[in-house]
Structure 1
């Protein structure tokens, strides 16, 4: 993970801390704004994502329309401050929920453009297009870090074809976050809330293999009493 981070252009490196340190989905990480960070309360508000609809970008609620607060570890807070020293937040304005032209007054009101000071933007100071990021930023970093094979040459049609790497996508950072939380002893209920899962049972089924060995802590507690 750290090797991939080092291989990313500096303006995108914070996304690794956001994904692995906060458990955000890719769209949520790309939609995170300065106003969402509460350094005093050590919390991050997850209120939106950058969503792609028919090749166009817009803001929208997180997946499942579930907003949430996530604890802000000091190391991630430090990374955010470091990023802010290098890259000032950029006010980005996009439609809400659907970028297509509204057909009714109700749609016009719902989809009216909104502006947020995004932490991570592209070189053109716009919201990051995930398709561009995955193909031209993330996968080259994976290759440079030795996680996947590099591109040898372009296809005849000019397309860039990487070796399959689904398990190494941005979502892997979210899995890392979940595994670290469970192995540290955090409850499944808390983790489900931080991940934005409506059902802790889903979280348990998905990440049960990361739970500490059953009975280990209980046995240690009993031993402490009788030893």
Structure 2
């Protein structure tokens, strides 16, 4: 996925300060073949981010740029509440990525709708790690 020079510079600086962390996990299923990859973004414990932790961190950023409203004065991690923002969270970002992948010729529009879907769905094929194990 192409990125602009400004974002590339920020990512380069981030990886200088916080080198990628090697993590070995099963691929595509809990009992899948173990694959080692290098993660650029991790938790404080150097573990993979999951959607809940990502959303927790993401809300602070959305608040900082005025994209969502805070509903109380409690600190983040101590009961802070935000206004409705489901359309700006991880699930929405996955769909944005899939749309961009399709625009770049790297994804596909699924003709059907998966269970519990509320509208047309766009899918991108899973990103496979390199065969040599380097991330």
The TM-score with structure 1 as length reference comes to 0.38
1:165 corresponds to: 85
Residues of 2 paired with 1:139 and 1:190: CA distance? 27
Residues of 1 paired with 2:103 and 2:65: CA distance? 30
1:169-200 CA distance string (max 9 Å, x none): 24359749x6xx8xxxxxxx971514x2257x
- The alpha-carbon deviation at position 160 of structure 1 amounts to 6.3
Counterpart check, 1:133 vs 2:45: no
1:16-62 CA distance string (max 9 Å, x none): xxxxxxxxxxxxxxxxxxxxxxxxxxxxxxxxxxxxxxxxxxxxxxx
1:193 corresponds to: 105
Identify unmatched segments of 5+ residues in structure 1.
Answer: 1-69, 103-110, 182-188, 200-204, 207-227
Q: CA RMSD in A?
A: 3.5
Pairing partner for 2:18 from 66, 81, 87: 87
Higher share in helix: 1
1:144–1:150 CA contact under 8 A, matched in 2? no
Identify unmatched segments of 5+ residues in structure 2.
Answer: 111-119, 122-135
Which one has more relative contact order, counting CA pairs under 8 Å at least 6 apart?
1
Q: Which has the larger radius of gyration?
A: 1
Q: Secondary structure at the match of 1:83?
A: helix
Residues of 2 paired with 1:137 and 1:75: CA distance? 22
Residues of 2 paired with 1:160 and 1:82: CA distance? 30
State how 1:56-75 maps to structure 2 within 5 Å: 70-75=1-6
- Give aligned pairs, total: 107
Q: Secondary structure at the match of 1:93?
A: strand
1:140–1:150 CA contact under 8 A, matched in 2? no
Residues of 1 paired with 2:25 and 2:94: CA distance? 27
1:92–1:126 CA contact under 8 A, matched in 2? yes
